[in-house]
Amino acid sequence: MNLAFALAAAVLFGTGAYLLLNRDLVRVALGVVLISQAATLTIVASGLSRGEAPIYPFDDAAAGETSDPLTQAMALTAIVIGFAVVALLLVLILRTVTAFRSRELDEIASEEAARDAELEREDAGEHDREEAAAE
Amino acid sequence: MSALWISLVIPWAAGAILVVCDGRRPAIGWAAVAAVAANLVALVVLASEVLASGAMSETTGDWPLGVGITVRADELGILFALLSSLAVLAALIHETLEGCHDRVFPGLTVLLTTGLTGVFLTGDLFNFYVFFELAMAAAYVLSTYGGTRRELGSALVFTTVNLLGTFVFLLSVAGVYHVTGSLDMAQIGERLAGVDASTAVLIAVGFFVAFAVKLGLFPFHFWLPTVYTGSGPAVAAILSGGLANIGAYGLLRFGGELLPAELELAAVALIVLGSASVLYGGLLAISRRSAGEMLAYSAIGQVGYVLIAIGIGGPVGFGAAILYAVVNALNKTLMFLGSRMRGTLVGAAFALGALSIAGVPPAAGFVGKLELFRAVAGEPVLIALLLLGSILSLIYAFQIYQFDFWRLEREGAVGHAGQRAVVAVLALLVLAIGIWPEPLLALSQDAAEALGGSGS
């Protein structure tokens, strides 16, 4: 893992985390995209090596270094999985936006807060009635 | 074809086909039930083989060992696989009897079973991630089941938080590969022992955060109440009885087997976090008046016990953690499935589940609590905490019982006869484990031994 890779992954992750904290749902999705790229880059960087083409079975003659094929395979898999889950997240956001008619997380959160407050009020009312009945 | 392959291939193929069928038709629902049941039967056969002849592993595609991906079945993996499959099957039968109102519910549930089975039965770190993502992707869609604004809002939170968790996990996987050059869990365990402590601790923290998010441990719990109360009974049962097992299994497998030294280093931190979960979940559950909300906060409290037991470590601690995780998943499946049904039978099952959550005989929870007390013996502070937690859970569980069944405040249908039967079967299972705990006790202790718990 060399410094360039480490810096690039760190910047990607940091930017992604910043976007993830945004109120706008589309930016949240972009934050997830950047973080997934940071993970992929880290995988690529985790096994950098130079050498012969890694074709099985190994030639005894070329007993030198073979380059590491596993990181490529893992990175490809991670890219595909990341792509799939980001597509899923975007569809979910699309459905949320059509249902709430808003891209702001605040509005979704405020609806939930209102529901919780309503429950609290009901419970408090119940409690008061019980107290009165017990008197 | 061995039972190991059959248990993976059947739900995989069936799920891929069923997911494109119209799940609102009862036939498709029952086909999904059949697929999950076949998976469960294969796992039972596999479990009997593992118990008879010890752990088994196979390599995919006839590659030599060390090149191909290994799948393996040992006591720990098979126990969690059985448990998750059972929880998902119960929830799926419950929902099929109700009548699905979503095209993809049955197919996705079968795919989720595939993901869970794969996670528990793989011996390869990256393969673990792939199956983990398969199960999670299915769960993201399932959490929107119902499709009203409330479910969409909670599904959005669930998906975002858990995606972040899985990418943190992936970063740790990359870290492990970088320092060990291997993806085979057995090899990693050997090679990580020689890695310097600071690197290993960073990797361990990444794994811990990822699994703590899955479990909903304090302070990673903030998404959980919204999701568990926002989704219907079947989805909540699948998430808490099936999916959350990944968290417990991951902490045990990665902490106990791959990073035992780091686990011992962090023992105090784990016990503190576990205690915080127990108190937080218990206190907030007391302030709730509906079964669903109480269960959501109870889930946070109950996983705290698992974390405390893991923090104590050693064969006794790991054994207690495994047993408690199993019992807790069964409790939650039972309670969530019955959470919107009325009637005497459901009332009795709910009472039994409440006893089990509080750890009172004759329910299974008593056995779990007993093992926990055995694990913390000699630590007065922890014994006091467990007692306090038990008292809290007794109060919140029976408070809800009083509201729902004595005052008949519960809204909901009496339910289909079949649904009542599912709840009754789960309740009988909880009762049976409580009355005759030896098989499960022996299995969880074997699994703990297999982890090589050499702790205090």
Cα distances from B355 to residues B363, B409, B434, in angstroms, run 6, 21, 11
For residue B129, which residues of chain A lie inside 8 Å, CB to CB?
78
**Are the CB atoms for B370 and B385 separated by under 8 Å?**
no
The answer to whether residues B338 and B420 touch, using CB atoms and an 8 Å cutoff, is: no
Distances (CA, A) of B278 to A128, B205, B392: 29, 21, 9
> What's the mean pLDDT when you consider all of chain B?
88
pLDDT category of residue A20 using cuts at 50, 70 and 90:
very high
Q: Which residues of B touch A85 (CB under 8 A)?
A: 133, 136-137, 140, 163, 166
Ordered DSSP codes for B24-65: TSHHHHHHHHHHHHHHHHHHHHHHHHHHHH--EEEEGGGPPT
pLDDT of residue B237: 94
B5: pLDDT strictly greater than 70: yes
Average pLDDT over residues A28-52: 89
CB-nearest partner of A89 from B133, B163, B293: B163
pLDDT above 50 for A78? yes
Which residues contact residue B446 at a Cβ distance below 8 angstroms, ignoring those fewer than 6 apart? B75
Question: From CA A45, how far away is CA A38, in angstroms rounded?
Answer: 10
pLDDT category of residue B452 using cuts at 50, 70 and 90: low
Distance of CA B183 to the CA centre of its chain: 24
CA A65 to chain centre: 36
Task: Summarize pLDDT for B328-357 with one digit per residue, the tens.
Answer: 999 999 999 988 888 888 889 999 999 999
Residues of B in contact with A93 (CB under 8 A): 156
Distance, in angstroms, between A22 CA and closest chain B CA?
A: 12
In the predicted model, what is the mean pLDDT of chain A? 85
Residue B63: closest CA among chain A residues belongs to which residue? A56
* CA distance linking residue B89 with residue B425, whole number of Å: 12
Amino acid at B263: L
Percent of chain B with pLDDT over 70: 98
Contact B156 A93 (CB under 8 A): yes
A114 burial type by CB count under 10 A (0-12 exposed, 13-18 middle, 19+ buried): exposed
C-alpha B315/C-alpha B311 separation (Å) is 12
Chain A environment of B180 (Cβ under 8 Å): none
> Above 50 in pLDDT, residue A57?
yes
- pLDDT tops 60 at residue A32: yes
Lowest mean pLDDT among A51-60, B42-51, B234-243, B286-295: A51-60
Q: What is the pLDDT of residues B103-120, one digit of tens each?
A: 889 999 999 999 999 999
B169-183, B248-262, B315-329, B398-412, range with the lowest pLDDT = B398-412
| Contacting residues of A for B164, CB less than 8 Å apart | 20, 32, 35
Q: Do B177 and A96 touch (CB under 8 A)?
A: no
Q: Above pLDDT 90, what percent of chain B?
A: 50
Average pLDDT over residues B403-423: 81
The yes-or-no verdict on residue B12 having pLDDT over 50 is yes
- Report the distance separating Cα B414 and Cα B79, nearest Å: 33
Q: Are A54 and A36 in contact (CB under 8 A)?
A: no
- The reply to whether the predicted model has a pTM over 0.85 is yes
Q: pLDDT band for position A62 (50/70/90)?
A: low
**Position A60 confidence tier, pLDDT thresholds 50, 70, 90:** low
Whether A47 shows a pLDDT value over 90: the answer reads no
Mean predicted confidence (pLDDT) in A12-25: 93
Q: What is the mean pLDDT of residues B179-200?
A: 84
For residue B287 the two structure tokens come to 């302030």
Whether residue A121 lies within 8 A of chain B, CB to CB, comes out as no
| Per-residue pLDDT tens over the stretch B192-219 | 888 888 888 999 999 999 999 988 888 8
pLDDT digits (tens, 9 = 90+) for B62-75: 777 667 788 888 88
Min mean pLDDT across A79-88, B7-16, B131-140, B413-422 is at B413-422
Q: Measured between alpha carbons, how far is B208 from B219 in angstroms, rounded to an integer?
A: 12
Best of B170, B179, B195, B403 to disrupt the A interface (most A CBs within 10 Å) is B170
Is pLDDT above 70 for B453?
Answer: no
A33 touches chain B (CB under 8 A): no
The DSSP output letter for A59 is P
pLDDT mean over B364-373: 90
Asked if the model's pLDDT at residue A130 lies above 60, the reply is yes
Burial label, B233 (beta-carbon count in 10 A; 0-12, 13-18, 19+):
buried
Single-letter residue type at B365: G
A46/B175 touch (CB, cutoff 8 Å), yes or no: yes
What Cα–Cα distance (Å) separates residue B436 from each residue in A39, B320, B359?
47, 17, 15
Q: What is the pLDDT of residue A58?
A: 65
Q: Mutate one of A1, A46, A49 to test the B interface: name it (highest B CB count within 10 A).
A: A46
Inter-chain touch B175–A36, beta carbons under 8 Å: no
- pLDDT for B454: 44
Q: What is the pLDDT of residue B455?
A: 39
Minimal-distance CA residue of chain B relative to A68: B181
Average pLDDT over every residue of B261-288: 91
Region of poorest pLDDT, from A18-32, A116-130, B298-312? A116-130
Per-residue pLDDT for B87 more than 80? yes
- Work out the average pLDDT over B227-250: 90
Rg, chain B, Cα only: 20
